[in-house]
Amino acid sequence: MVAFGLVVVWQGLVLVLAPPPFMLPSPARVAAALLARPQLITRDAVTTLVETLLGFATGAALGMALALVLAFFPPTRRVLLPVMVVSQALPVFALAPLLVLWFGFGLGSKIVMATIAIFFPIASAFHDGLSRTDRGLVDLARLHRANRLQEVLLIRVPAALPALGSGLRVAAVYAPVGALIGEWVGASSGLGYAMLQANGRSQTDVVFAALLLLAAMAVLLRAAVDAATRPLAPWAAETLDLRD
């Protein structure tokens, strides 16, 4: 219903303002451009999806690993936490050309770009969950002579799963954007590459078609991650009531 409402508003703006098609194409023009260029789905969208999924998997693994390192060895926080913050403070557009230079124009540079885009949300959310475990549970574990490994794996990790799920859901939205930025710098296929080619020819309808595919990819990936992470912490069910 939301998507339908947005399309109606979009069409209404086109009818009322009557902008040139190269400025704001109508939904019908965008749909026609998508149908006229099946390679947007069969080639470019598939390329971006592969880059996104591989980047998401890599970023999730590295983010969770770093959060666990910080939990197992608290003194490392003084060194690693500033590095995490600095890695996100650097403009991604400044890093993209270097990544293409180092990893080439293939999948490698796009996977690394997507990894960088989602690494921090996952590491930060999981580390925050590990650090905010109920103090009573931690004291109970120590009372039973649990060592550091047992405390982290049996107490802190299960308690941090809801926070990890939140980080993964946020990262699922950013992962396609990271892959897209990498394609803008250098690629031979992908939605970013298609957008650059279309923009250079003033084919705004093709640019909008690529954007719609990217948006659909982000929504579906977020929904898939939400469905996969929800069973991880059944005791932390949502209590928000829309009637409140």
Find, among 176, 59, 178, the residue nearest to 124 by Cα: 59
Of 185, 168, 53, 164, whose CA–CA distance to 118 is shortest?
168
The reported pLDDT for the residue numbered 237 is: 62
Tell the residue number behind the tokens 């005791």, with chain if given.
Answer: 235
Give CA 14 to chain center in angstroms.
31
pLDDT greater than 70 at residue 242: no
Segment 182-226, tens digit of pLDDT: 888 777 788 888 888 888 788 888 989 999 999 999 999 999 998
- Tokens coding 107: 């999948």
Residue range 110-162, pLDDT digits in tens? 888 888 888 888 998 998 888 887 777 777 777 777 777 777 778 888 888 88
Sequence-distant (6+) residues with CB within 8 A of 65 are: none
Mean pLDDT of the chain: 83
Between CA 12 and CA 118 the distance in angstroms is: 36
Helix (H, G, I), strand (E, B) or coil at 12: helix
- What local confidence, expressed as pLDDT, does residue 221 receive? 92
**Cβ(131)–Cβ(71) under 8 Å?**
yes
Q: What is the pLDDT of residue 239?
A: 54
The Cα–Cα gap between 29 and 70 comes to 51
Name the residue type at position 41.
Answer: I
**d(C-alpha 43, C-alpha 46), whole Å:** 5
**Token pair 């009531």 is at which residue?**
241
Rounded distance between C-alpha atoms, residue 166 and residue 151, angstroms: 22
DSSP 120-188: HHHHHHHHHHHHT--HHHHHHHHHTT--HHHIIIIIIHHHHHHHHHHHHHHHHHHHHHHHHHHHHHS-S
pLDDT of 236 above 70: no
pTM, rounded to two decimals:
0.83
DSSP state of 75: G
For residue 218, the tally of other CB atoms under 10 A from its CB is 17
Mean pLDDT in residue range 61-83: 85
